[in-house]
Homo-oligomer: A and B are copies of this chain.
Amino acid sequence: MNRKLRMGMVGGGRDAFIGAVHRMAALMDGRIELVCGAFSRTRQKSRESGRDLFLASDRVYGTYREMLRKEARLPDGQRMDFVSIVTPNNMHYPVAMAALDAGFHVVCDKPMTTSMDEAVNLARKVKRSGLLFCLTHNYTGYPMVREARALVAHGRIGAVRRVVVEYPQGWLATRLEASGQKQAAWRTDPKRAGDTCCMGDIGSHCANLAEYIAGQRISAVCAALHTFVKGRLLDDDASALLRFDGGATGVLWASQIAVGEENGLNIRVYGEEGSLAWRQEEPNTLHALWPDRPAERRRTAMPGPGKEAAAATRLPAGHPEGYVEAFANIYDAFAGDLAKRLEDKPAHEAADYPSVQDGLRGMAFLDAVLTSARQKEKWVELKTE
C-alpha cells in the first residue's frame, strides 16, 4: 500500500504518559501518521494538544463521539484508518464499542475493560464487526520476549514446570493521588480504574507475559490483595499462587509500594530441560540456563536468537532498543495486518500482536483474583470464554 496508515487518537493530551508513548511508537517506523484526535475531556485542552502535534485544527475534536462521526464522513483519501484508545481504563469499553460501530479498526490500551461482562461484549462485537482489534500488551513486543516464547514453543527447555513473574514498582508507596498527580489519581479511583489498581494495572501484564512465554494458560489462582497506603480504596500490593493448564506451578506478584523499584517486570520460566529469565529493565538480554552446559546470555542481534526475535529487532547488536521500540513492534504488526486488509489481501496468519481474546483472558484473570482475594478457600479457577 503506497501510503502511510492514518491514525486517530482518543485520550493522550498534554499531561498523559501513555498517549505520548503510543504516538512515538506509531510514528517511529514511518508507516503510520497521526491525522486526528480527541485528546482531552475539554475541547480547549484537546485543541492545545492538537496544536502541539501540528494537526490541522479541523481534525482536532472535542469528544470521541464527534471524532467518530465526522471522520466517518470524510472521503476515503483523508479519513482515519483506525482509532488508538489511550484513555483511563473505564473509557476503553465505550470508545472501543463506538469506534467499531462506526467502522473503524481499533488499537486499545490495557486492561481492555473494567469488567468481565464488558470484555465478553467487546469480544463479541469485534468478532461480528470483522474489524481489527489490537490490545497493547506492549511487553510482548520486546525481541527477547519473542525469543523466550519461541524457545519454549520449539521445545528447547522441555515441559514448563514453574513460572515466577513479578512486577515491583515504588511510585505509589505514598498517597501520590492526593497530590493531584493525574496518573496516580485515575489508577486509584474505582470509578476510572475498575475494582483493582495494582493487579489491574501491572499484575495483568504479568499474567499476559506468563501465558505468552510459557505457552500454558493460568487455570487457577490463589490470591491476596493488600492496600498499604491509608485512604487508598484499591489494592497497591498483590500476590498470587498460580496453577497452569499444562501442569506448571507459579508465583505472580506485583506491588506499587516497593520503594525504589522502577518498572521491574521480570519473569523466570523453568522447564524440564532449561530455564529462561528476562527483566524488562534490561530488555535486550535473555538468560538461558541449561542443566548440562554454562548459562547463556542471549542478546538481540547476536548469534543465538531465532527469527522471531530478529523480526522484532531494528538495530545491530549492542545498540539498545527500549520500551518505545517494543511498543512500536506491536503497532508495526498491527499496521502490517491493517495494510493487508486495506488492500484486501489475506491477513498474516499469526500477526504477533495481542488480540481481543488476550484482553478477555486478562479480564478472566482479574476476575478470578478478585474472587480469590475475598474468599477463605485457596483456589479459584479462571473462567474460560
A333-353 residues at the B interface, CB under 8 angstroms: none
In the complex, what residues of B have CB within 8 A of residue A301's CB?
262
A342–chain B nearest beta-carbon distance, Å: 14
Q: Is the CB of B30 within 8 A of A34?
A: yes
B237, B271, B303: which contacts A162 (Cβ < 8 A)? B237
B228, B262, B314: which contacts A317 (Cβ < 8 A)? B262
Taken residue by residue from 212 to 249, chain A's Cβ proximity to chain B (1 for < 8 Å, 0 otherwise) reads as: 00000000001010101000000001010100000001
The oligomer's copy count stands at 4
Q: When chains A and B are docked, how far (Å) is the Cα of A174 from the Cα of B290? A: 13
Question: For chain A, what secondary structure do more than half of its interface residues adopt (helix, strand, loop), or is it mixed?
Answer: loop
Knowing A253-B164, A261-B289, A304-B293, the reply to whether A282 touches B280 (Cβ < 8 A) is no
| A interface residue count range (under 10 / 10 to 19 / 20 to 34 / 35 or more) | 35 or more
Q: When chains A and B are docked, how far (Å) is the Cα of A271 from the Cα of B170? A: 10
Taken residue by residue from 315 to 347, chain A's Cβ proximity to chain B (1 for < 8 Å, 0 otherwise) reads as: 111111111110000000000000000000000
Q: When chains A and B are docked, how far (Å) is the Cα of A289 from the Cα of B261? A: 7
**27 pairs across A/B with beta carbons < 8 Å?**
A2-B51, A3-B54, A23-B30, A30-B53, A162-B228, A170-B270, A222-B224, A222-B241, A237-B249, A239-B241, A241-B241, A251-B251, A255-B270, A257-B270, A258-B270, A258-B275, A259-B270, A260-B275, A260-B288, A262-B318, A263-B319, A281-B320, A283-B320, A295-B296, A314-B324, A322-B325, A376-B378
Seed contacts A170-B291, A283-B320, A324-B325; 15 additional CB < 8 Å A-B pairs: A17-B316, A23-B30, A170-B289, A171-B317, A173-B272, A222-B241, A251-B251, A281-B318, A290-B303, A293-B303, A293-B304, A294-B304, A314-B324, A321-B324, A322-B325
